[in-house]
Amino acid sequence: MFDSVGITVEGGSGGDGAATFHREKFVPLGGPDGGDGGRGGCVHLRAVDDAYTLERYRGRRRFRAGDGGAGGPNQRAGPRGADLALDVPAGTAAFEAESGEPVADLAEAGATALVAWGGRGGWGNKRFATSVNQAPRYAQRGHAGETAALRLELRLLADVGLLGLPNAGKSTLLAAVSRAKPKIAAYPFTTLEPMLGVVESGYERFTLADLPGLVEGASEGHGLGFEFLKHVRRCRALLHVVDCASPDPVTDYELIESELRAYDPALEGVARVVAVTKSDLGAALAEDAAAALAAHTGAPVAAVSALAGAGVEALAARLLAVVREERERAAAAPSPLPVVRPRPEERFRIVRRGPGLFAVEGRRVVDFVEMMDLEQEGARDEVDRRLERWGVARALRREGAAEGDAVRFGAVELDWRA
């Protein structure tokens, strides 16, 4: 199952502002009328319920939203760049590739998360016109969009997770209660990736996931280890099946349960249904195994035969009752507040990088300077006026910046004018 992938997303660049002047017959002094560039498009992740793997991202790993359009004369603003929505299966979590910090958890279909901002559109020269600067001949360039390297991880989201030792009959049971067609064979580890099936009981339905078999030490990564256990966390309930032909069904049951507890103690609180499989091998054998497990767990244990169909419908009905109860509990629980990724801090700060070298940090100031085309007439004077007005120049003087020192604003370095 293709359930983990690294991708790079880029917000669209903002459009350039226009540096134009009004031209109309009988209006000789029309003044500046350059419009602003459009903002670049943003990139969103969107959870959908008609995808089950991240296979669509196997061949393509880089995605970019649309760029904003350039501004025009007559204060005509450029069009905004088209946003980009990347569909992922419900149950996908996104992390920053380098730090591993969580970015979004798209647990339910319809959930969205903004993962890359579009760049700001540049101001047209109309924005810079004042009573003392009546004919600015400069405009801003559009700013580049945000780039983010992400790791997407699919943590299967199913109503019921089917777990047990290898070759316990999980795949056969899934095939018997749904239309899924998992690989079935008489050897362990037939299932190497989760398989989803839809189980219908009466007029209702729920999803059942056949998960790869566990072995001792799975919580430490042995066998399929973490590849299995990460999916268990996203199930509403668990169906634990035990082979009735096992010499010690209770030990088999406890081996799986101990691995779950070692991996994530919170899994102990997930609703359980226990069933004994392969009852067609012998009714007495199945009854003894079910009785031993019932005495150990303190809950009734069903004996089923997926091949013969014995007890399968009753088990599906019982699972549906558990799922219904868990859905109601989840609906009644208070919804968590949405996590919003804030833009970088607006305030600025001065950092001394070395003798005669300073850096100004702060999104508003850095973006403004980076977006100014300093080759245009009057653009540097505009930057100096803004830095004075915003208190940046005063802060630099306090830090000891002198005439000719280098001051960096992101990718732009200026010779300081004291």
Q: Which fold has domain 158-332?
A: Rossmann fold (3.40.50)
Whether the full predicted model's pTM is greater than 0.95, yes or no, is no
Give pLDDT, residue 58. 86
Name the token pair of 123.
């101001």
Residue 379 has pLDDT above 60, yes or no: yes
User: 1-57: per-residue pLDDT in tens?
Assistant: 567 899 999 999 999 999 999 888 877 777 899 999 999 999 999 998 777 778 889
Give pLDDT, residue 335. 54
Give pLDDT, residue 343. 55
Q: Give helix 249-263 / helix 283-297 axis angle, nearest 10°.
A: 40
Longest C-alpha distance within the chain, in Å? Answer: 105
DSSP string, 293-349: HHHHHSS--EE-BTTTTBTHHHHHHHHHHHHHHHHHHHHHSPPPPPP--PPSPSS-E
Delimit the domains of the chain by residue range. 1-155, 158-332, 349-415
Classify 272 as helix, strand or coil: strand
Q: Please indicate whether the domains covering 158-332 and 349-415 agree at the CATH topology level.
A: no
Q: Which fold has domain 349-415?
A: GMP Synthetase; Chain A, domain 3 (3.30.300)
Q: What is the mean pLDDT of residues 196-208?
A: 80
Class of domain 1-155: mainly beta
Give pLDDT, residue 225. 39
